[in-house]
Structures are given as structure tokens and as C-alpha cells.
A and B are shown apart, each in its own frame.
Chain A
Amino acid sequence: MLNETRFGSRFQVGLLILAASSALAACGEVDGFTPDQWDQIKKMEPLAGDPPPNPFNNRFADTNDTLAKLGQQLFFDKDVAEAIKVAGPSGNIGDIRKVACVTCHGTKYFTDARPGPISEGISYLTTNTGDMLNLAWYDWTLSTGRFDSMVEHGTTVWGTSATPIAQARFLYTKYLAEYNAAFPDTPLDPRLGLPTTDPASVYPMTGGPKSSATAADGPFEMMPQDAQDNISQIRANLGRLFDIYPRKLLTPESPFQKYVRDRDFSQLSPKAKLGLGLFIGKAACNECHSGPTLADNKFHNVGVPNLDFIPNTTTAITPNRGRAGVMQTILNNLATIQANPASPLIFNGAGIYSDNPTLGLQRLLDVQAEDQQRCLTRDPKTNACTLYDETLEGAFRTMSLLNVAQTAPYFHSGTVTSLEAVVRQYNAGGGPPGSYVGTVSPKIRPLLLTEEEISELVEFLGTLTGVSPADQAAADPTIWNWAANTAKPALPPPTSP
């Protein structure tokens, strides 16, 4: 009897231990993910926190909407476009008023769905147009990181449509009131409205700064200095517009955002949750794709094959060196600003138009240090680096994965047309060696994913699609529709000179 009692009590203690240990085993788990896994997932919460301000463009915070709305108008307005020089989908050579920003950002998610390369004005684009949503979190823009913020980007990108002087004249003709309201301290010069035949006119119809200091002076350099400065100021202001407007374009409320932010575990299907587990586990996508836009703001060579030839021609496309290919341009800007800190032709964060030139200069100096550290061979004449190590040569900026299911084609070259193909390329450890510049990053290795796992990963990527700006406005008419074409009516056809 005594033994039975002892046995019974020991048995009960044993059961208690088993039950307690089983309960402990699951402690801290969130929807089946361990605390460490959930920490990783939380770091991927889409659009977490307020969009960070652009340190180089924050003086107009109070008039943000005014500038954004002017930027929106200009974004859609094709009247700015000068004559097409290379025929493409938008028109033939000589056609005018055919191209605007929206031409290459024409989808619901502001991307270009057409596989490249495409000509939309002055040359063939050999890189796929990236999206322009949720941009506030980016440090560098474009796939190569050519610009240090959307401000510098905005001063140049309109150049695919028109020269700086043509842009200025266009603004004066069509958006004078809006512009001067947005920039009351730097209004447009009335002389921009004068025909070139007017004796008081100082502005030609088109033109811009010469391409290099050693090039011959052009129409721009022949203008009086105050006119040159006016054009530069307009460019700087356009940069602000094209920084502030895209900041309005957010895609919140994706299933994954609600899953993480609200812990609404019904937002992801079981298959998508398996994909999420792979994303932070076996596939290790979050090595680079983490943070509020699922991008690390760094550059990696992921082994994406380059484009070979211009369509229907035998013209070879120069292999894209990615970050390595723009390093010298950035360093040239640094040299210019170091030689003349007041240079009116520098629009990056270190220039005179920047709201934080100290920070801007530091970022350029960091690039210079990286150049010194990573360069393997240099051109003996120009001292430009001709070959960087694997961290820069052929490296491209990590793209956001928000809305990725809606932003095909993929990669900088736009050569991959489906998400499944993207995952397969990563699963293989990148494209075939030799099809891209440089050496693939050590972060890119064969993942050994099964077919089922590839499917699960794609399923998860589909949960990153947020509500587009157009759908936000459609759902709530009280908010401003940042996706609407608000450009003023088209100008009458130009009269022949």
C-alpha cells in the first residue's frame, strides 16, 4: 500500500514535470515564432515609425503640402518635354510634349511594367525604373545610389524630358503662380517669359551647364551670372519638389504590416507564414531585406545578368558596374565642392542649397574613404578607379520589397519577370558567373530551397502589398489623391517660329 502510494505520487510528480516543461517550451512564442524570430520579424514591420525627414530638405516642413502638390502637377505634366531624340514607345524623333515622370512611373505602384531597355526621350534606359513609393527611408537613390537623396535626384531626373533652361521657361509659362507661391523667397525671374528676340532676354530657349569643366562654354555659360544662378536655384527648388511629392506616396496596411503591427495573425495564410519562416530562416532574405521598407540601404552584387544589346540592334550595352560605376561621379562632386564650397552647380547634400551641408559633406567623405579602401586598380591618367572589390563592383542598392508582387519586372536590369523566377535566381546563388559585372556577394549563395519552399516564399512576398495611393483616395474621398493626374490642361500647340 505504501509502495503504491509512493509510486502514485512519483508518477504524478513526473507528469507535472512533463507538463511544466512542455508549457515552458512554448514560452515567449508569437504565432509559432520564437522570441528571436519574432524580433527579426518586428524589424521588418513595414513603414514602422514616421517617415524619416530628409536632412538636406527640411526647411519647408510647414508648406509641405503646397510643394508636394506642385510636384504632383509637374510629375504628370508632359508639356515640359522637348523633342524626342531616340524613338521609343512615347514617340518618334522630333515629337515634343510626349514624356513626363509618369511615363516611366505609370503603374498603380509607380513603376514601369515594361521590360527594358526602353527609350523615352534622349536615350535608352538600360536599368529598370524603380518604384517611387515609401522613399523616405532611402539613403541613396536609384539602383546605383547615384544621388545622395531625392533632392539631388530631382534636380537631374527631369533632364530626360528637358534641359534646365527649358524647364525654367516651362515653369514660367505654365506654373508661375504655383511656383512663386511655393517658393516666395526665390520667385521665377520674369525674364524667363521673354522671347529670345527681346533685347532684355537673357535666357535661351534651352540649354544647361556644360558637361565638364574642360568642355567649351555653351548657351548656359554665356548667360549673365545672375541668370545662371537663377536657373540653378530653380533646379534646386525642383529637387525639393521631387523629394517632397514622392514622400506622400506611401502604401500602408499591407497584410504583413497588419500581421506585425497589430498582431493580427489572420492576415497571413499558413502557407505565407511558412514563407515568412523561410524569409528569416533558411532563405535568409532578411540578411539584406529588413527594416521598414525591407531594404538595408546597402549595395550588393546579387549576380543579376546584365542586358546585352539594344533591342533590334547590334549595339552592345555597356555592362553596368552598379555602385562602382557612379563612384567617380560622386567623387567629382566632392572635388568640386571642396574646391568651391559655394559652387552653384552642386545639388547634393553638401552643396549650398542643402539644409545640412555638414552632414552632406561627411557622407561624401565616407564615399571617398570607401573608394580608397575598395579600389583595386586605377586609371593612371585620371586616377579613377577602374576596378573595385566585390563590395562595389557590380553592386546595386537593395530594393524595397514592399509591393514587390506589383512591381515586375525585377532587378536593376528588369530581366526577370516573375517573383518565382526571382526566388529561383536567388536559390541558385545568382545568375551564371560572367553574365554580370564583378563577383557575387558572399551573401548570395545557393539556398537549397525545395519547390514547395519557393512557392511558400512567393506566397509570403505577396503579403507585402500595401494599399496604393489611388486606392487610399478611392476608399476615403476626404483625403488628397496623390496618385491623380493634377497637371494643368495641356498648353496649346507651339507656333512655328
Chain B
Amino acid sequence: MIANGKPTRRPPAGYLERGKRAWQVIAAVSLLTAPALAPQALAQEEKPEAPSLPPEASDEEAPPVPDQAQSLEQQIAELNDRIAREEQDRLKSVPALSWNGYVDFGYFAPIGNAGVGWVRDSGNVVFPQYSNYSWTFLGDLLATAVNTRGEVASLGNAPGITRFDSVDSSGAGGFIVNEINLRPRYQLTDNAIMRASVNFVPRTGSDFALGDFVEADLAELEYLPTKDGKTSIFIGKMMPIFGIAYKERKSDQRFGITPSLIDRYTTGSQLGVKVRSKLLDDWLILAGAVTNGSSTTEQFHFYSEIDQNWGKTLNGRAAISIPVGHLFRNDDKLEIGVSGEWGPQDRATDNNGKMWFGGLDLQYLSANFAFKAQIIKGGSPGEPDAAQGVYGLQLHPSGYAELDWQVLPQFGFILRAAARDAIVTLGTDRIYITKEIQYTVGARVVFTPHIMTKVEYLHNQEYGSIPEFLDDIFTSSLVLAF
């Protein structure tokens, strides 16, 4: 063999075959052990060297003999055992208990109406047809959200009710620790996981009492009954299954800051039992749950953590996940889902009135952008006696569309339009009439995987017969995650 005019030594074919096989074994071992070794390797900043040829490689003409082949197979078996042991050791080295969480710090500024999302229809000038109610409120109580929790700048000074106004800014801008979140996770067994999520929320006290509170928004067991891990059974206080917004209800998960106008119906934790499964090669996603109450959030009128009635709420969602990758990127997915829930009214002591929600959702998920949309409708008759505290609801089709675009690894922006058309009543004491469109524009800067900051401007606009009033919000959030 002549190369560059110089003679070279050509190894015999048998040697080459053996060499290739040995090289493959070493490569395979390296590949399998790489995840376990990689951290150390990276930590040492050592560059991987090319494997040197084995000494017997010089025996280039020697044919393979049975003993040698047997020896090699034995070595392979030993290596496989070693790989398996090291994999087990690696898994054992991962602690069963892990902690995640974040600190969410922000600054917000209400713009107009002292941070309150409603006005009162004094004397029922706008809606005389509701003069049989004590008080008529126009707008949206929760439209002036300042953080991911959905807390509003101010709940206002409404007659006939004493509310815990957690922010109570009186319309002033200010800094706020939105939430300190801790999420312990414990691997109970190979196929059972315990999770919890606890929020610490520092707020203003009064009369020497601390206003701070602790909130457990997740306390669940996830059990994976199948080997493929595509079916999960959840028990405890868990995330709902309605729609898609619940997946991003925490500060370190949500692209923007504030929840949409309809998130109050779909992102509340529920107590009960839930099953979720991916079928047909992940094309079909099914989820069902039996829970105490609805998936409304705890700060909304309807939520009831512990049932006061025997009936339970049935929840379901079916979605098709289509890998549409060819359009933009290979891992793009389009998911279209339909959700519903039905059960006794929250806070009711009987099973007579039924609360229900139905909705459609769509999300297109790409590597650096996502488009999400959801529409929901629902209702609940309420109770005629306001003293029972059971609110009635007429939720006409309401929803949102949101575009999240991570333009650069460090920078992204969000555009969202949401609408809510609803009437909420409490006996004949109070009626809330909402016809609200909310436009949200925001940006996020990711400094490191652990530090990101977000800003948002929310413009709330009333429509229909409801007089327009200024109740916008500027808000920001610095999320320090671990």
C-alpha cells in the first residue's frame, strides 16, 4: 500500500475484525457510562482521548481462535454486568429526596381605579334590570393581577363583605415578594413518587397579627402502574386536568407573569384521585379525575377544598398530540384537547345544584415559541340565600390566545389577548357583571437557568354596556429558581 509515495504497513484482515469489535465494545461501554461519568469528566475539564489500540493488534495475521472468542464474549458479559451495576449505582447515587422551588420578587404599579378591577353600578343606573340585587358590580374582581398567583393590586372596598385583601395596595405601586415556593419530591419506590408544593407568602399584618401565610397547593402521590411509564395515577391534592393553563401556574413555569382571565376556572388544585395516560404512541392523551370540587382557584368565589356535600366532581380531558415537526422543527407538537367537569356546586351543602365547565384548548409547542389558546364555558345556579355563601355563575364563552416567543436564549416576549364574559351572583346580595377584554404584552430575560426576570403590562378594557374605566397594571417579577 502506497501512501504519499511511502510504503505503509497494512494490518491483516482478521486483526481488523477483532480490533473493530473491541473498539465497538469499548465505545458501547463508554456511551452507556458516559451519563454517569460525564459530570466528573466535565468537572475535571479533561478532553476524552482516542482509545489506544490493544497490544495484540500487532498480531495482524493471526486468525481468531475459539478460546479468544469465548474470552471476548466473557469480557463483554462482564462489561455488561459492570454497566448494569454502574447504572444501578448511578441511580442509587441520585437522592430519593429532592427539592425545587423559587423565590418570586416583584414590583407592580396599578394604573387607574386604585388597582381595583371593578366599579359599582350605583343606583343601578347602567343595569336597572338588576336593581333587585343589593349591589351591582361591573368589571372583573381579578383583572388587576400583579403576580403569577393571580393576586390583585386591590380587591377594593365593597359593601357587605369583609375580604382578605392580600395585596391591598390602595392603588400605589410597590415591591412585593410574591411567593417563596418549595417543592419536595420523594421517590417512594421505583414507580411511586410523592410530591408537594408549599408557598410561603409574606403579606401585611394587622393589629399585631402577622399577615404572612403558608399555602400547600400540591400534596400528591403519583403511581406509575405500567412499565412504560405512560400511565399515572395521582392521589391527594393535585393539579387539575382541565385545559392547559394549569401546567404553567407557577412562577418558574409560566412564560409570562400573570394568569389569563379564565385561569381562575382551570388552575386550582383539586383533592381526589386522577388517572392520566398516553396512548397510541402518545398521540392520544386521556385524563380523568374524581375530586371534591371544581378546578377553580382558591382565591375565587367558588373554591372549596373540603367538600360539604357528598357528591363529587367528575373531571375529564381528551387530547390529540400531533407531531407536526415538519412545519418548523422536528420536535414541534400540536395538541388539541377537550375538557369538562361536572359536579355539585362548590360550598353547597347538598348535591342539588350542579356546577359545570366545558372547554376546548389548543397549543402549538415549538423549541422556542408556543401558541396557546383556550375557550371555556360554564355555569352554576348558586343558592338563593346569600348566607349560604354559594355563588352562582353564568360563564359565557370566554378564553384567551397567547403567543410566547423566546427570540434569543436570553430574551423572549409574550402577547396575550383574553376575554371573559360572566355573571356571578350571591343570592340577591351581589351581582358581578363582567364583559372584559384583557391585552397583555410582556418580556422576559433569562440570565441563567436559575435567574430570570419578567415584565408585563395588562390593559383591561370593558365592553358591552359596561362603562370603560382605567384599571391597567404594570408588573414585573424576578424569579430565582433552584
Tell me whether A and B are bound partners. yes
Chain B residue with minimal CB distance to A280? Answer: B122
Contact code string A180-213 (vs B, CB < 8 Å = 1, else 0): 0000000000000000000000000000000000
A36 touches B160 (CB 8 A): no
B122 touches A284 (CB 8 A): yes
Chain A residues positioned under 8 Å from B115 (CB to CB): 25
A22 touches B109 (CB 8 A): yes
Binds B, one of A121-129, A444-452, A479-487: A444-452
Query: Bound complex: CA of A286 vs CA of B122, how far in Å?
Result: 6
Contact code string B91-133 (vs A, CB < 8 Å = 1, else 0): 0000000000000000101111111100110111000000011
Given known contacts A21-B474, A36-B469, A445 and B134 CB-to-CB distance under 8 angstroms: yes
CB distance from A40 to the nearest CB of B (A): 6
A317 at the interface (CB under 8 A from B): no
Other-chain residue from B123, B160, B474 in contact with A290 (beta carbon distance below 8 A): B123
Contact code string A419-456 (vs B, CB < 8 Å = 1, else 0): 00000000000000000000000111111100000000
Query: Bound complex: CA of A241 vs CA of B159, how far in Å?
Result: 43
Chain B residues positioned under 8 Å from A296 (CB to CB): 123
Chain B residues positioned under 8 Å from A51 (CB to CB): none
A288 at the interface (CB under 8 A from B): yes
Query: Bound complex: CA of A446 vs CA of B109, how far in Å?
Result: 33
Chain B residue with minimal CB distance to A21? Answer: B109
Query: Bound complex: CA of A448 vs CA of B158, how far in Å?
Result: 10
B210 at the interface (CB under 8 A from A): no
Binds B, one of A27-35, A258-266, A325-333, A367-375: A27-35
Other-chain residue from A28, A284, A446 in contact with B112 (beta carbon distance below 8 A): A28
Chain B residues positioned under 8 Å from A43 (CB to CB): 122
A34 touches B474 (CB 8 A): no
B159 touches A282 (CB 8 A): yes
Q: How large is the interface on B (under 10, 10 to 19, 20 to 34, 35 or more residues)?
A: 35 or more
Given known contacts A35-B113, A287-B122, A290-B122, A24 and B158 CB-to-CB distance under 8 angstroms: no
B161 at the interface (CB under 8 A from A): yes
B68 at the interface (CB under 8 A from A): no
B173 at the interface (CB under 8 A from A): yes
Chain B residues positioned under 8 Å from A288 (CB to CB): 123
B84 at the interface (CB under 8 A from A): no
B158 touches A442 (CB 8 A): no
Given known contacts A18-B173, A27-B111, A287-B135, A281 and B159 CB-to-CB distance under 8 angstroms: yes
B134 touches A448 (CB 8 A): no
Contact code string A31-73 (vs B, CB < 8 Å = 1, else 0): 0001111001001000000000000000000000000000000
Which residue, of A26, A40, A447, has the highest number of chain B Cβ atoms within 10 A?
A: A26
B410 at the interface (CB under 8 A from A): no
Chain A residues positioned under 8 Å from B162 (CB to CB): 448
Given known contacts A25-B171, A442-B133, A442-B134, A448 and B109 CB-to-CB distance under 8 angstroms: no
B41 at the interface (CB under 8 A from A): no
Chain B residues positioned under 8 Å from A277 (CB to CB): 157
B109 touches A24 (CB 8 A): yes
B218 at the interface (CB under 8 A from A): no
Which residue, of A18, A34, A35, A288, has the highest number of chain B Cβ atoms within 10 A?
A: A34
Query: Bound complex: CA of A149 vs CA of B160, how far in Å?
Result: 35
A17 touches B474 (CB 8 A): yes
B112 touches A27 (CB 8 A): yes
Other-chain residue from B112, B123, B157, B428 in contact with A287 (beta carbon distance below 8 A): B123
Within A451-471, the residues touching B (CB, 8 Å) are none
Query: Bound complex: CA of A40 vs CA of B162, how far in Å?
Result: 22
A399 at the interface (CB under 8 A from B): no
Chain A residue with minimal CB distance to B472? Answer: A24
Other-chain residue from A18, A40, A448 in contact with B161 (beta carbon distance below 8 A): A448
Chain A residue with minimal CB distance to B429? Answer: A445
B182 at the interface (CB under 8 A from A): no
B188 at the interface (CB under 8 A from A): no
Chain A residues positioned under 8 Å from B110 (CB to CB): 25
Other-chain residue from A35, A40, A280, A447 in contact with B470 (beta carbon distance below 8 A): A35
B69 at the interface (CB under 8 A from A): no
Query: Bound complex: CA of A287 vs CA of B130, how far in Å?
Result: 13
Chain A residues positioned under 8 Å from B472 (CB to CB): 24
Other-chain residue from B132, B173, B428 in contact with A21 (beta carbon distance below 8 A): B173
CB distance from A274 to the nearest CB of B (A): 10
Chain B residues positioned under 8 Å from A334 (CB to CB): none
Query: Bound complex: CA of A26 vs CA of B113, how far in Å?
Result: 9
B172 at the interface (CB under 8 A from A): yes
B111 touches A36 (CB 8 A): no
A166 at the interface (CB under 8 A from B): no
A283 touches B159 (CB 8 A): yes
Query: Bound complex: CA of A50 vs CA of B115, how far in Å?
Result: 36
CB distance from A306 to the nearest CB of B (A): 23
CB distance from A25 to the nearest CB of B (A): 5
CB distance from A44 to the nearest CB of B (A): 10
B160 touches A446 (CB 8 A): yes
Chain A residue with minimal CB distance to B457? Answer: A21
A402 at the interface (CB under 8 A from B): no
B112 touches A22 (CB 8 A): no
Query: Bound complex: CA of A444 vs CA of B171, how far in Å?
Result: 29
Query: Bound complex: CA of A24 vs CA of B112, how far in Å?
Result: 8
B109 touches A286 (CB 8 A): no
A278 at the interface (CB under 8 A from B): yes
B123 touches A18 (CB 8 A): no
Chain A residues positioned under 8 Å from B134 (CB to CB): 287, 442-445
14 A-B pairs, CB-CB below 8 angstroms?
A21-B111, A22-B173, A24-B109, A25-B110, A25-B173, A26-B171, A27-B112, A35-B469, A280-B122, A281-B157, A286-B123, A287-B122, A288-B123, A448-B161
Using A445-B134, A447-B159 as known contacts, list a sample of 14 further A-B pairs with CB atoms less than 8 Å apart, ordered by residue number in A. A24-B474, A25-B112, A25-B171, A34-B171, A35-B113, A40-B122, A281-B157, A282-B157, A286-B123, A287-B122, A296-B123, A442-B132, A445-B160, A445-B429
